[in-house]
Chain A
């Protein structure tokens, strides 16, 4: 139910004057019409009868009163959904806006509310000030209109600023202007000591507190367990909702989704059902629908990396590499772990220095004292040490084993033995290997035996059918010691050839991650530079100038100088997240602070003044016409003129609204011209400015093409995809105007057909300046999405460096226009085939049916009649304009020549072949 409010309700008192107006209007009837009438003499003596009408006609009176009433109402400033804090206060307005990450998801609404408040303040001529709790930003009184601009440029920050920092400045402000009205647009959480701030604020003044109903949720960490990758989601205690978390890789592609449902108090867990190989790819986890830094969990090497070292105790047998244990281990581990081997003098120390999380010692009996100590420390800190038996171990072994081993080995099914080779029983149900399928064909012919001792059964994960332990493990510190009682090569059993071997190693690797081996560099740099940081909306970007390095050791909490993000060099970076492991979102208890929060409106206020004035004006025109008609002023002549004017008006309106030329039969001159001469085309958006830019831009590009290439395109032409035949144009430039109506379904079919039959459309959203990568989509992007939802769109990718479109005429890196920071998307190429990695250019079959850019290409090309650029470029420079033209020429050449340039790299080979 939209509410109606007034900015100046006092003006409505003027409505009381309407009865007076009624009386006045009644007293002055409209002018009579004059008619010539020759037989007047016959009735001239009837004059005594009524001379004036009794009243002005009632409908005319009503019309005039309505005009007057509407004018008064318009002066009173009617607003649909008025901002609730629009009070009659006259003092300065101070707007406090929570800008921490909990406010980011509904940031637009917060800014809209602040905008509405400030707008009404500007209308009322009140000075205003604002603060977003950023430490350096103190409230400064200024005209509300100026504050409005600053507020609209605000962005949320990726942490929770400390509210108390503002208190001194606030106290000073209120002391200077005690009549101030304070409006606090709060995020409703107690983050950043908002509760003590609220109490202090309530003590100082009587603020309006406005909250959205939105309850922020955050990600308080993720862990990579043996059963999968799981994220922990925290929410407000009252939040009992459900949701979805999404795991993405480094390129932002979605890898998996997991549902969660929040319950009071405790964090919810969502587990991703991901194969281990893909788990390594997860670079970030975010909560769907929450665009805030707190709802993003960045993962780093500590989560993803599983470096496994393999040490072979046998003499390195280069003659039979396929029989060496390390070969089988490598093949089994490679799909889901980064396998390291060392051929140095001291491989164990070598691998530990490489910070492996799991170390596999195949048939290593004794280790040097130094290695022994290092291994012990490694396991205590969470590493997993997996040992495989072998001849060396059977001989003698150290104590880094879960069980004591009998010297010597047991041979089953040998020539002098009665026993048959043994099969393996299912893994112990409580062990980490539980549930793994054991092949019936696995037989163990030879093994090392554990000394029977108390607790052996508990330490046994897998045993033979006869109960002999086969895999034993023991926990030491944070890590695990695991012993497999057979060798890692098939000489003792066919276990290394089985699927169970791979599954088992995979579980071990998962254990390594779960046990949390510390992968932080031991002797790396003391501090880590910020590399990529999150903004308040949870989008990764370049770090702000205020970002400072974090210490390499210890835990840092995200704040203004340490925004959440990735720190340290690429490849071994450390993620700093907005929320720590044990973070909580506590709601702010406004009642305790003596405040009463109001919900701010769901829809922005609509100023009804123009509407009321327009209605008044139209009714005034109607009144004028009616008066003329009553006075007989609309005679034959005037009526005809009036009718002509009306027809012209209606026709103009129709032309403006339809603006679609009739779909003529046959071939139009335009089509003929286009068929005879290749020319560039752009889509008419309906905005005169955009269309002019497109026309001038393509004109300039056509000239450049003429000067620099063999192509001499004709005059560019503007097209309406609904009515014009698109098939004559190889390239269609389509600037997106978010206000334009969506094309009809039939038009979308035409566009799809155009793209399917070889046409290329360059969509230009022109929003690179204000689009946030990873942030909420801009209106233009939404428009384009809606348009393309009816079209078969091939998978897209950002133009890779070796794409043929970067080579078709000029060698360029990317496509710039007025803006240089936007990405350009093109149909994804098939992945490069391994044998031709050295090819400089790749191309698919045919030409990409669509290219999407946001850089406003035509804006950079457009030249006025004096050959002066129409618009400046951002960041600017002649070079950028030149690169824009080169990009345009490449695009045109790409659409005209396709993958020709990619094929040209074969010329050398072809010539050679011909010469033989």
Chain B
């Protein structure tokens, strides 16, 4: 029952082809990601938290025992009290991205706006763009170490291309546990056995790294709209299911799906990670905004 990766033809050529296909899609995806990022950027205002950044955050009254150097004399001269100028907290953080590029991610039903894979890439690039512009260091799990470079998005893309050409699209990061205090952003459809997925999560969080899992689903995968005589084909394996009356399967499938997601969710919560669901028939910006909100919330914790 476990999905075996389908690899017909010469492996090397196939991998190169996958990398090329990705590279071919990248410019469009970049553009889409930039649009998404730009629309989200309007909604984000700093880290909403005092810190050792450069931009002004707030004045507050000088507390006794505080260093006098921190007193803002210009403000304090306007009344009898002493004020301290606080700057916004701008700690550079390591954010590790990972985008699932397994064959199941290429699925796109009639109701979806784009395939799950494309949506995951768009979200990943947009998140990288946002994070880089916010001064964070972004890297790619299994690919590129985190850097605060302005062109980090293209570096990540290049790394993905290389990855795909070299090793093929993986269903889960191969890396071991992430460094502590790092944040991980995992974009996947989560369609590997729940046990494997939970084990993978625990491995990544082994050293106390925290992160966010965004489960990307096609609307068809939620609603199971099939009826009548249907043959269902798997994407990652030659497995097929012949259903005489497909509508009979709907209830049991949906129960299984809920169970699967519940397992992932429980593991993520246990590790202090967040886990959210995004459907490809919804706009990418909303998912990114929600993701940004969760990231901010996690920092505040």
Contact status A33-B230, CB under 8 Å: yes
Residues of the A chain whose Cβ atoms lie less than 8 Å from the Cβ of B239? 40-41, 44
CB distance from A33 to the nearest CB of B (A): 6
Residue B107 at the chain A interface, CB threshold 8 Å = yes
Residue B104 at the chain A interface, CB threshold 8 Å = yes
Could you say which of B104, B226, B229, B245 has the most chain A C-beta atoms within 10 Å of its C-beta? B229
Contact status B221-A39, CB under 8 Å: yes
Contact A52-B252, Cβ < 8 Å, known A40-B234, A42-B260? no
Interface residues in A20-72 by Cβ distance below 8 A to B read 29-30, 32-47, 49-54
CB distance from B187 to the nearest CB of A (A): 15
Residue A636 at the chain B interface, CB threshold 8 Å = yes
Contact A630-B228, Cβ < 8 Å, known A38-B107, A41-B239, A43-B256? yes
Interface size class of B (residues with CB under 8 A): 35 or more
Interface residues in B207-263 by Cβ distance below 8 A to A read 218, 220-221, 226, 228-237, 239-245, 248-249, 252-253, 256-257, 260
Residue B193 at the chain A interface, CB threshold 8 Å = yes
CB distance from A55 to the nearest CB of B (A): 11
CB distance from A326 to the nearest CB of B (A): 111
Contact status A41-B191, CB under 8 Å: yes
A580 vs B137: C-alpha distance when bound (angstroms): 126
- Which of B107, B221, B242, B252 interacts with A32 by CB under 8 Å? B242
Residue B110 at the chain A interface, CB threshold 8 Å = yes
- Which of B1, B110, B228, B229 interacts with A44 by CB under 8 Å? B1
A47 vs B218: C-alpha distance when bound (angstroms): 23
CB distance from A54 to the nearest CB of B (A): 8
Contact status A53-B244, CB under 8 Å: yes
A636 vs B112: C-alpha distance when bound (angstroms): 13
Contact status B229-A43, CB under 8 Å: no
When C-beta atoms are compared, the residue in chain A nearest to B3 turns out to be A41
Contact status A39-B191, CB under 8 Å: yes
Could you say which of B232, B239, B252, B253 has the most chain A C-beta atoms within 10 Å of its C-beta? B232
A630 vs B231: C-alpha distance when bound (angstroms): 12
Contact status A40-B241, CB under 8 Å: yes
The tally of residues in A whose CB lies under 8 Å from a CB in B reads: 27
CB distance from B95 to the nearest CB of A (A): 28
- Which of B2, B189, B243, B252 interacts with A38 by CB under 8 Å? B189
Contact A43-B252, Cβ < 8 Å, known A35-B226, A38-B107? yes
Residues of the A chain whose Cβ atoms lie less than 8 Å from the Cβ of B237? 41
Contact status B233-A49, CB under 8 Å: no
Contact status A43-B233, CB under 8 Å: no
Contact status B244-A40, CB under 8 Å: no
Contact status B191-A30, CB under 8 Å: no
CB distance from B130 to the nearest CB of A (A): 28
When C-beta atoms are compared, the residue in chain A nearest to B116 turns out to be A38
When C-beta atoms are compared, the residue in chain B nearest to A30 turns out to be B229
Determine the main DSSP class of A at the interface with B.
mixed
- Which of B3, B104, B189, B249 interacts with A49 by CB under 8 Å? B249
CB distance from A45 to the nearest CB of B (A): 6
Contact status B233-A41, CB under 8 Å: no
22 pairs of residues in contact across A and B, judged by CB atoms under 8 Å: A32-B228, A34-B230, A34-B233, A36-B107, A36-B232, A36-B233, A37-B220, A37-B221, A37-B234, A38-B221, A39-B253, A39-B257, A41-B193, A41-B239, A42-B253, A43-B253, A44-B234, A46-B241, A46-B249, A49-B244, A52-B242, A53-B244
CB distance from B19 to the nearest CB of A (A): 22
Residues of the B chain whose Cβ atoms lie less than 8 Å from the Cβ of A34? 230-233
Residues of the B chain whose Cβ atoms lie less than 8 Å from the Cβ of A632? 230
Residues of the B chain whose Cβ atoms lie less than 8 Å from the Cβ of A33? 228-231
A632 vs B246: C-alpha distance when bound (angstroms): 13
Contact status B234-A51, CB under 8 Å: no
Could you say which of A32, A38, A53, A632 has the most chain B C-beta atoms within 10 Å of its C-beta? A38
Contact status B229-A32, CB under 8 Å: yes
A502 vs B8: C-alpha distance when bound (angstroms): 124
A630 vs B256: C-alpha distance when bound (angstroms): 27
Contact A47-B253, Cβ < 8 Å, known A34-B233, A35-B231, A35-B233? no
When C-beta atoms are compared, the residue in chain A nearest to B104 turns out to be A38
Contact status B229-A52, CB under 8 Å: yes
A42 vs B193: C-alpha distance when bound (angstroms): 8
Contact A43-B241, Cβ < 8 Å, known A35-B231, A38-B107? yes
CB distance from B146 to the nearest CB of A (A): 31
When C-beta atoms are compared, the residue in chain B nearest to A635 turns out to be B110
Interface residues in A554-613 by Cβ distance below 8 A to B read none
Given A32-B230, A47-B242, A51-B244, 8 new contacts (CB under 8 A): A32-B242, A35-B230, A40-B239, A42-B191, A47-B241, A49-B244, A54-B244, A632-B230
Residues of the B chain whose Cβ atoms lie less than 8 Å from the Cβ of A37? 220-221, 226, 232-234
Residues of the B chain whose Cβ atoms lie less than 8 Å from the Cβ of A50? 243-245, 248
Residues of the B chain whose Cβ atoms lie less than 8 Å from the Cβ of A630? 228-229
Residues of the A chain whose Cβ atoms lie less than 8 Å from the Cβ of B243? 49-51
A797 vs B239: C-alpha distance when bound (angstroms): 90
CB distance from B37 to the nearest CB of A (A): 27
A649 vs B268: C-alpha distance when bound (angstroms): 57
A630 vs B226: C-alpha distance when bound (angstroms): 12
CB distance from B76 to the nearest CB of A (A): 63
Contact status B257-A53, CB under 8 Å: no
Contact status B221-A53, CB under 8 Å: no
A769 vs B228: C-alpha distance when bound (angstroms): 65
Contact status B107-A41, CB under 8 Å: no
Residues of the A chain whose Cβ atoms lie less than 8 Å from the Cβ of B252? 43, 46
CB distance from B236 to the nearest CB of A (A): 8
